[in-house]
Every structure is written in C-alpha cells, then in structure tokens.
A = this chain, B = another copy of it.
Amino acid sequence: MRVSVIGGSSVSSAQYDLAREVGKVLAERGHTVVCGGMGGIMEAVCRGATNAGGTTVGILPSDDLSAANPYVSTPIATGLGHARNVLVPMNGEAVIAIAGSGGTLSEMGFARVYDRPVAGLGSHDLPWVEPVETPTEAVEHVETACSSSRE
C-alpha cells in the first residue's frame, strides 16, 4: 500500500537515521512511500526506501520538478506552496509522522480530516496519533490499522 511519511526539513542526524530506517522497512514490506519530496525527513525516508529497492512519490510545494530530493522516483510538482501539505496524507492509506513542526502538524490535522491512521515517532501528541518507539512498530501499526479498516 501507499504510506505517507511526514516530518520537517530541519532534522537532527538521529531523526534522519530514523526516517531512513522507516523508508527501508516500508520498501522491504512492499509499500510505496508518499512524502513532500524535499529535504530532511522527506529525503531520508526516500533514501532508505530507494536503497532498499522501493518506490517513492514526492509531492512538491514548488512548480519545479528539479526541486525534488534525488531519491524521489516519481516527483509531482504543484506550485501550491504549503497548500500542497493536504495532498501528502490524502495520497497515502496511512501516515507515519516523525518529529516535525508546523507543517507536519498541518499534515497530521489533514490525516484526521481524511481519517488516515497515524503512527508517531517522537512527533506531536494528539488523540488520533499512536505513539510508537521504532520504525518497525510504526509500519506494523499502520499495516494493522489499514487491514482492520478493510474488514
């Protein structure tokens, strides 16, 4: 399935490594990564996924495809600026949030609007977000949440 991964462009190296591992686990389990296509968490998750043979969709704020990080396999330019944030959770069946500030929070709000299950790794504490400890737990949470919603 498609899983949207959200998080900021300014990250610590520990957060970068965490996101890279999330990308790797998603790709190994056959999921496609959807993200905002830029740097920081977005680059890290695409890098982890791509290196593990996965596919990544990057939905960019810019109208310029070349703004995508080098690990995006399908860049989508929007020219919408921050309004593109709504497209990120909309295009995944579930969401994994890693750290992040205002932009990430807007995406967590839209995840709620679109009723997407959300796993949070060190991200905002919200009633509809399941706090998890590891990348594998994050992926397992969204897999389980989506399979139950299909039953």
Interface set of A (CB-CB < 8 Å, partner B): 57, 59, 63, 65, 74, 76-83, 85-87, 90-91, 101-114, 124, 126, 128
Q: Is B106 a contact of A101 with CB atoms below 8 Å? A: no
**Which B residues touch A102, using CB under 8 A?**
109-113, 128
Q: How far apart are the CA atoms of A107 and B78 in the complex, in Å? A: 14
Partner among B86, B101, B105 whose Cβ is within 8 Å of the Cβ of A105: B105
Given the interface contacts A86-B82, A126-B124, does A101 sit within 8 Å of B112 by beta carbon?
yes
| Interchain nearest-CB distance for A25 vs B (Å) | 22
Q: Are B109 and A106 in contact (CB under 8 A)?
A: yes
Number of copies: 4
10 pairs from A and B in contact (CB 8 Å cutoff)? A77-B90, A80-B81, A82-B114, A85-B86, A85-B106, A86-B86, A105-B109, A105-B126, A106-B106, A109-B109
Contact A106 B114 (CB under 8 A): no
Given A79-B80, A83-B87, A102-B113, 14 extra CB contacts under 8 A? A63-B90, A76-B91, A77-B91, A79-B81, A80-B80, A81-B86, A82-B113, A86-B86, A86-B106, A102-B111, A105-B108, A105-B126, A106-B107, A109-B109
Contact B63 A81 (CB under 8 A): yes
Nearest B-chain residue to A124, judged by Cβ: B126
A48 to chain B, nearest CB (A): 20
